[in-house]
Structure 1
């Protein structure tokens, strides 16, 4: 799942393994690189002139540097980092946001995280809404119960619905008396009244982008 950088005692990269089955170390490549531009340009130009353009850092560029004994060094990042290349890891990363002790503190004003800010009204909670340990943003309409979940922009939750341990993407519409548990509901998805989307902690259920579910169960 990860590209692995193997280094010597000076942190010089001596080998790059592209998603090995049995990695030799735990130094996963974060995909952040700093290059000397003239050197990189030379490799890209020569590659294009011979056997085609380099298209991938892990598959093309890094191996070329190592083959030609270019001095390349790893920087050991010891802060918070989470790969979100799988459904499970994406769900876990979002659930970690709800932990007040999460190392990535999105409320830290000294290290702000900026995102697109749409012109949306504040979230609206009806008298029937119940919210606990959750994150709800602008544009949301909530008439149901939200437990340990994240609601993105402009999400609609109908009366009697229960959203638990789940991540709801922007513009999703969830009807009345719906159960969503351990799930990721995609952007613009619709779950009709009395629908049921239930996963498990180690098997997250997914409703895809723009998918429409009626009264059927998805488990």
Structure 2
């Protein structure tokens, strides 16, 4: 247990390049790897670092995120003291307007003032990684830093460590300084703080576009990447769902793919990630695809390099192949793709 460090997850960001996948959910709740959500990686890293107080600050479309996190029990954060705290945005008139996280944080400033931890990790919610923040804290204290920024190859990872009292000061003076987030502080060459960088040399990918989401997802099929992320000593936790095992039909073929529980697979699946309760009918070929929960794909279809969101229905005989290389097709949540639409 780390009594000197608390966690803050900034879930206020809206990436326009991910619009087709986050119109009905916050980016923190974007499904990943068949059974996870993006927030699971930063939240698990905090819990594995001994952090017992985590505040999540979403801005829009956060119903699915609330459902996923629940009481925090799956991350051992349903506690009498500290635990998981959920702080919705105070304004709903312009959900996609980017005004900076400080405005959101300051609305809930009493959370920071009442907390007992001396230091705070402020992290984005859309990165795939698995790390121990105690190493960052040790370096921060050793070098007598005011703010430590995590970097990779010199580029910001939008993860910061600073004293809780300094964060409160930044929130209370934001109207004077003009700072809207910690990135603004980093970009101000005239800031009065001792800024340090912590170069992180392990696996870390920021999901900020459909292309990065697609390619990072399929990287999980590589055993080297899988072992980097999913470690026995630092597990990635997620919401647990009890579902029956996947049923494989007599003619089913599955190669180099991840198949979640509760599916019915009767076709050919290759180099793909299939989420819970997906149905793939006979004669259908799925290659290099990401298929989200409860999607149904009819008979004799051919899909290559396609992302199907939740509850999509693909009718019989549909072919979906992107026109451009490395530019996957995205079918939005709940869409019915039929022969007429395909034409």
TM-score of the superposed pair, with normalisation by structure 1:
0.79
Output the CA distance in 2 between the equivalents of 1:27 and 1:106.
22
Alpha-carbon displacement from aligned partner over 1:114-156 (angstroms, at most 9, x marks no partner): 1212121111111121101111011111111000101011111
Larger Rg: 1
Structure 1 residue 151 corresponds to structure 2 residue 264: no
Tell me: CA distance 1:77–1:106, structure 2 relative to 1, closer, same or farther (3 Å).
closer
Alpha-carbon displacement from aligned partner over 1:146-183 (angstroms, at most 9, x marks no partner): 00101011111111111001111111111111111011
Secondary structure (helix, strand or coil) at the match of 2:303 reads strand
RCO greater where, 1 or 2, for CA within 8 Å and sep 6 or more? 2
The aligned residue for residue 178 of structure 1 is: 301
The aligned residue for residue 6 of structure 1 is: none
Secondary structure (helix, strand or coil) at the match of 2:269 reads strand
The aligned residue for residue 56 of structure 1 is: 181
Instruction: Name stretches of at least 5 consecutive residues in structure 1 with no aligned partner.
Output: 2-9, 17-24
TM-score of the superposed pair, with normalisation by structure 2:
0.52
How do residues 207-218 of structure 1 correspond to structure 2 at under 5 angstroms?
Answer: 207-216=331-340
Tell me: CA distance 1:217–1:128, structure 2 relative to 1, closer, same or farther (3 Å).
farther
Output the CA distance in 1 between the equivalents of 2:162 and 2:250.
56
The aligned residue for residue 326 of structure 2 is: 202
Deviation at residue 70 of structure 1 after TM alignment = 0.2
Tell me: CA distance 1:72–1:107, structure 2 relative to 1, closer, same or farther (3 Å).
closer
Secondary structure (helix, strand or coil) at the match of 1:32 reads strand
Alpha-carbon displacement from aligned partner over 1:56-109 (angstroms, at most 9, x marks no partner): 332x34346x53320111110000111221111111111111112226445532
The aligned residue for residue 39 of structure 1 is: 166
- Counterpart of 2:238 (choices 115, 119, 142) is 115
- What is the root-mean-square deviation of aligned Cα atoms in Å? 2.8
Output the CA distance in 2 between the equivalents of 1:100 and 1:150.
14
- Counterpart of 2:156 (choices 17, 29, 41) is 29
Output the CA distance in 1 between the equivalents of 2:166 and 2:332.
43
How many residue pairs were aligned? 196
The answer to whether the Cα contact below 8 Å between 1:186 and 1:208 also exists between their aligned partners in 2 is: yes
The answer to whether the Cα contact below 8 Å between 1:147 and 1:163 also exists between their aligned partners in 2 is: yes
Output the CA distance in 1 between the equivalents of 2:229 and 2:192.
41
The answer to whether the Cα contact below 8 Å between 2:220 and 2:226 also exists between their aligned partners in 1 is: no
Output the CA distance in 2 between the equivalents of 1:61 and 1:41.
14
Secondary structure (helix, strand or coil) at the match of 1:120 reads coil
Output the CA distance in 2 between the equivalents of 1:123 and 1:193.
22
The answer to whether the Cα contact below 8 Å between 1:121 and 1:139 also exists between their aligned partners in 2 is: yes
